[in-house]
Amino acid sequence: METPKKILVIRFSSMGDIIYTTPVVRCLKEQLPNCEIHFITKPGFKYIYQNNPYLTKLHTLKPKLSDTIKDIKAENFDLIIDLHNNLRTTIIKLATGLPSSTYKKDRISKWLALKFKWNRFISKEHLVDRYLKTVKFLGVKNDNKPIDYYVSKAYDLSDFLPETHQQKFVAFVIGATHFTKRLPNDKIIEICKGINLPIVLLGGNDVKENATIIKQAIGDKVYDTCGITNLDQSVFLVSKAYKVIGFDTGLTHISEAFDRPLASIWGGTTPDLLGVHPYKISESLIVGEDLSCRPCSKFGLEKCPLGHFKCMKNINTDIVVNFINS
């Protein structure tokens, strides 16, 4: 086809999946400079792209899909790049009749991995590389740069942290949407006790109680920002950290945009299943137990299906401590 002049990229959710679409938008704009690049997502995730310089316009999904389709038709796009590939995006493509290229989800291999633990069939390609296959036909290539996140304003560390934590600190992302992605408090406390630097806890109101328990056990070495800073401010703190510790959650993945040394701890989910091991960062550590029951889910569960939660309870915290202290 002719080089399109106006492209719509679609990914509705979730935080981690959307952040890994940013190299696609960047490569499209840099390699097709005369083309408008638009992106559509759910309103709750628009912050990921609202300051992105490679984007011509950011759209959000309307409550009624028919209204979204009407808006898309009005823009007169030449091409849709569908990085979500679900029922709604299929309806959008059919209703608009626009040429499209769609991300292949590899659902069968993932089902086999979850059902029978046949991990050998899972692609080792990172999600970014799989997304970029959708634009290969346009001559767009991977620029091998990290993901993008642009903090909305020029914050100052003194706005959020005491003087004791402003010079060289470890950011510990203790939140995650689902229980099976989160390390138990006692294991987090073990790690914090072993770290020889100030620690800043990051997370939402859902882990505020956890953060209080951890701080009480450790003392002033730990500073708690959970439920105090918004996401953009938390990303700013991650960008200024010496090193980062986190679980399989959006803020941990966003930290990769700043090339901070990252220790990611995995429980019921695995990076291979999702294709989201740390991307294009210079130093990283992936920690996860080799158990026959892993992975137990694709996105995380509210409790361990077998009741023992060994994937997190058996984590060797010394590995994490040594990585941070090295």
In a domain? residue 146: no
Question: What is the pLDDT at residue 201?
Answer: 98
- The answer to whether 35 and 28 have CB atoms below 8 angstroms apart is yes
Q: Of 83, 111, 138, which one is at a domain's C-terminal end?
A: 138
Average pLDDT of the residues in 55-68: 98
Tell me the β-bridge partners of 60: 41
Domain with 94 in it: 6-138
Tell me the β-bridge partners of 256: none
Q: Which of 64, 39, 62, 68 is nearest to 51 (CA)?
A: 39
Question: What is the pLDDT at residue 249?
Answer: 94
* 300 and 223 fall within a common domain: yes
Task: Provide the whole-model pTM.
Answer: 0.93
Question: What is the pLDDT at residue 116?
Answer: 62
Average pLDDT of the residues in 60-75: 98
Q: Using one digit for the tens of pLDDT, what is the confidence trace for 259-293?
A: 999 999 999 999 988 889 999 999 999 999 999 99
* 181 and 297 fall within a common domain: yes
**pLDDT higher than 90, residue 4:** yes
* 178 and 287 fall within a common domain: yes
Amino acid making up residue 144: N
DSSP 183: P
DSSP 303: S
Q: Using one digit for the tens of pLDDT, what is the confidence trace for 107-162?
A: 666 666 667 666 665 667 899 999 999 999 999 999 999 999 999 999 999 999 99
Question: What is the pLDDT at residue 124?
Answer: 76
In a domain? residue 144: no
* Cα first-last separation, the chain: 52
Report the domain count for the chain: 2
In whole angstroms, give the CA distance from residue 149 to residue 255: 9
* 164 and 134 fall within a common domain: no
Q: Which of 298, 287, 293 is nearest to 310 (CA)?
A: 293
In whole angstroms, give the CA distance from residue 169 to residue 184: 22
Q: Using one digit for the tens of pLDDT, what is the confidence trace for 304-319?
A: 999 999 999 999 999 9
* 120 and 45 fall within a common domain: yes
Helix (H, G, I), strand (E, B) or coil at 74: helix
Query: Can you give the CATH number for the domain in which 314 is found?
Result: 3.40.50.2000
Q: Of 138, 166, 182, which one is at a domain's C-terminal end?
A: 138
Question: What is the pLDDT at residue 42?
Answer: 98
Amino acid making up residue 18: I
* 248 and 312 fall within a common domain: yes
